Structure formats: C-alpha cells, structure tokens
Structure 1
Amino acid sequence: MISRTIALWRTGLVLGLCLGLWACASAPGGDASQQPLTVGTTEPTDGQRRAQIRLELAAAFLENNQPAVALEEANRAVQADPNLAAAHNLRGLVLMQLNEFALAEQSLQQALRLAPRDGDSWHNLGWLHCQQQRFAEATQAFDRALQTPQYQGAGRTWMLRGVCQARAGQMQAAEQSLMRAFEIEPGNPITLYNLAAMLHQRGNSERARFYLRRLNNSEAANAESLWLGVKIENRLQNRDVAQQLGRQLQRRFPDSRQANAYERGAFDE
C-alpha cells in the first residue's frame, strides 16, 4: 500500500507560492489506500494487485519528476481497478503537475466519491483550487482534510492553508495558519520559510529571524532561504551576520539568481 506523504524541499518557496508540486501535495494514503478490497473477502483480486503495482510505479515516476510516465502508470492503475480511490488521487496529482487542472479536478472528485473521508484527497483538491485562485473553495477543502478522523497530514495542510491565504491577501489569517503548522511540525522548512518571509514583509524582521535561523542552520537551507536571511539581517543592521550568510550563499550556490542579487546589493528586490 502507498502510505507516503512526500514533502520535498526541492526549490525555494517564495511567499504565497509553492514551487514544486510534491512540496505541497500528498501521495495517496489514509482512507483512500485502506478501503476494503472486496466485499466479504480479504484477498485482493488480480486486478487490484495490478492496480497497486501500477500505483507504486506511478508514485515513483512522479517523485522522480517524470510526470508523463507517471500518468501512463496512473491510468493503468485506474483501468485495473476503477474503484481504487488512491489511483484517482494520484492521477489527479500527476495531472496537476502537467497543468491539466480540469482533468485533475475530475480525478480528485472521483477519489472523494469513492473515499469521501480521505484527508489526502481533500488536501490535494484544496491545493488545486489554490492554484486556480479559488481561495474560498481551497480553504473549505483544507478544512475538510483537517476535520478527517485520524488524518496524519495536519501540519502540511495548515502550512498550505496559510500559503493560500497569503496569496489571497489574508495576511493575518495566513500567519495564524502557518503558526499552527509550525506548532505541529516545527522543523518543516516550507513552513519556516513562509513564516519568516511573511513576518519580514510585514516589518517584523526580529521574529522572522527566529524562524529562518532554524531553517538556515539545517541541511534544508537553500539559495532562497540564505538570501532571505541576508535581507533580514541587513534590515536589522547586523552587517557581519548578513555578510556571513552572503558568503555562504556565494560559495554554495554561485550560479543562483540570489547570489547574483547579493553581488549587486539588491536587498530590496
């Protein structure tokens, strides 16, 4: 069974924008992957076995950034077992990666018809609505995920709820959601970055530094987080610390846009 929640720190996350589907979305799991195989028996049919194998392959290809191949495998999983909600959920994720939003929504809605209490599918539908700027519907979907009994992904759902609220201009609500995400998963780099970026943008750079230091002192630090650290320390007049972060940025990510901006002194961009 697929039960993974993938939350990779592949790229920088700018305020209110998730750059990389797997940082935001969920692999099939929860109620979707635990639904009964058949009525009256615990033995899977041949079709269900084939569907599970195809589902595992699709997840692996998507994680490896091969969405076209992942879609082929997800389609085969659906064909092998049309009643497997996890297959429709993952197919929706792949279609989101391919910017096929209408088809993605059809797949996610089918997953929820089959498993209406699957928090992962509600989470993914919320992220889809967020990308379409359907912010009220996104919040409703995230809330449905959070209300799901035994849901294991509350931290990332609160995080993404906050990201979408920021995109909608609801900054106070966004901060509250991100703080709730931080309480649940204090080491989540996406939450840490977004909290820091939002607080810095709102003029509270002292608090922003608290969260960003946790990120930049970890292996998850990247060009985007180091550059934000430079700007925060520069605003707080901590020139030596800003220079230390800048040198680290140049050494570790010399070809990045952020390193170029540092060299130009573009602290207000």
Structure 2
Amino acid sequence: MRLDRILFVGLILALLAGCATGSGSARSRPAAESNPENPKTKAAALYTDLGQKYMAQGKLEVALENLNKALAADNNHADAHTVIALLYERIGDNAKAEEHYRRAAQLVPKSGSENNNYGAFLCKLGRFDESAVYFERAVSDPFYKTPVVALTNSGTCAIKGGKLDVAERDLRAALGRAPDNSEALFQMATVLYRRDDFFRARAFIQRYEAVGQSSADALLLGRNIELRLGNGDAAREYTRRLRGQFPESEQARSLDASGSR
C-alpha cells in the first residue's frame, strides 16, 4: 500500500478509500524500515488498513486507535506513519502531522510517494523552499509510478512561492509526461497569466477545458484572461458559466461583490 498526496486537490478521503494515484514504489528496504514478512509488520499493516477504512467512514477516533496500534506493533511502518499523518492533518494538528510525514520520509528516503507527501504538506504550511527538496527527491525515484504528481505539486508550490521560472519548468515536465493532466494545464495557465502572456495562457485554459474539466478557479481565470485580451463577449460567457455552475463559490461571490458582468 502506497499513498500519494496531491497538493492541489483535497483528496484525503479519496486516498483513504483506495483511490490514490497509484504511487507504488518498488525499492530496496533501508535497515530501519519494516520487514514485510515480520509478524509485527503484518499486524501493523492490518491495523493501518483498518485505520484507513475508519477514516473513510469519518470514524476518526476509532481510526486513530487502530493507527496507534499499528505503530505500537511496528514503529518503522512507513504506511502507518503516512495514514496517521493524514488523520492529524485532517483534525488540524499540524505538529503531529509533520512528525509522522517526516518519519515516513526518513524510513524510505528514496521513495517518491513519501517524499511527495511530505513536500505537499510543507508547501501547505508555506515552507516552499523546504518542500522543493522533497519534491526533487520524489521525482528522482526511478521506481515512482506517478512522478507527474510530484512535478505538478512542485510547480504549483513554486507559483505560491513566487518562483515562476521553476513553476513553468516543472509543469512543462509534468505535461511532457502527461499532456492531458488537467491540474498541470490549469497551473500553466496561471503561470502564463501572471507573466502577462495572455495568449498562451488562453491556450492552456482551452486545453484544460478540452479534457472535460470545469472549476470555479478555471472559469474565473478564463474570464480574467479574456478581459486582458480585450474580448468582452468571451469574458461575459465565462462569467455566465461561473455563476451558473458554481453560484455559491467564493469566485462567483467575488464577481457579485464587484458588480461584474
């Protein structure tokens, strides 16, 4: 079981329900990491699985009880540390969440999944430079099945940190591997918009929509791009769609507050 965390989408429940992005990393096991044949490790895996299932059901106290049992059985079980980190993050205990994300990454220091997870968490805390180290480690894992996740997370985090050159580099690398990756397309549009490259920003928003995606953020960005290009009709169409599809969103309310049409 490997859990991979996507920074830009709140997928904790999806991950816990077994809908993760498939980050399984085949790797040699460091001395500190669990031996999967050890009975204590098997017990830890069982309790971790139970903890995931209870989290998916919203039974957080029971989930925490099982995850603590997992770590009591085998404190070097990286998956148990990852899942309990997710739980602590969910209830707002960032100190304990970081402790366990960090421990998971220490146990499997070359694993794409654990390094991506810790990087995503650090980015959420605004520790952009620290997060970049872990995203780089994640991408460097030759057995990491979804390096696009870490590349996209890295690019998204670089935008937040104001490093648009790094963001464009990593997002282009992500799109080179997965041209229809919707989040990478949206974030590339964001980078280009911030650089006042509105024609290319429009092209990426159009590609984003062509893969069947729709979000309040993308519709607002599309509107703003068209306004900067002087295309009032297209901007009004984005506004209409935003209010129609996401009437209660913060983005729609921001337009209402400004009296935009």
Among 71, 74, 78, the alignment partner of 1:81 is 74
Shift of 1:22: 4.1
Higher relative contact order (CA 8 A, sep 6+): 1
Specify the alignment match of 1:134 in structure 2: 127
Identity of aligned residues (%): 30
Among 48, 58, 71, the alignment partner of 1:55 is 48
Contact 2:24/2:144 (8 A) holds in 1? no
Give the TM-score taking structure 2 as reference length.
0.80
CA-based RMSD: 3.2
Moved more, 235-244 or 136-145: 235-244
How many residue pairs match? The answer is 250
Q: 1:261 to 1:143 in 2, by over 3 A?
A: same
Specify the alignment match of 1:20 in structure 2: 10
The one-letter code of the counterpart of 1:195 is M
Q: 1:183 to 1:67 in 2, by over 3 A?
A: farther
Report whether the alignment pairs 1:258 with 2:251: yes
User: CA–CA distance in 1 between the matches of 2:87 and 2:28?
Assistant: 17
Matches within 5 A, 1:161-176: 161-176=154-169
User: CA–CA distance in 2 between the matches of 1:250 and 1:161?
Assistant: 31
Report whether the alignment pairs 1:37 with 2:36: yes
User: CA–CA distance in 2 between the matches of 1:258 and 1:21?
Assistant: 21
The one-letter code of the counterpart of 1:204 is D
SS, match of residue 225 in structure 1: helix
Q: 1:126 to 1:66 in 2, by over 3 A?
A: farther
User: CA–CA distance in 1 between the matches of 2:203 and 2:130?
Assistant: 32
Contact 1:126/1:138 (8 A) holds in 2? yes
Report whether the alignment pairs 1:248 with 2:241: yes
Contact 2:54/2:60 (8 A) holds in 1? yes
Q: 1:121 to 1:234 in 2, by over 3 A?
A: same
Give the TM-score taking structure 1 as reference length.
0.77
**Structure 2 residue runs without a partner (length 5+):** none
User: CA–CA distance in 2 between the matches of 1:133 and 1:72?
Assistant: 30
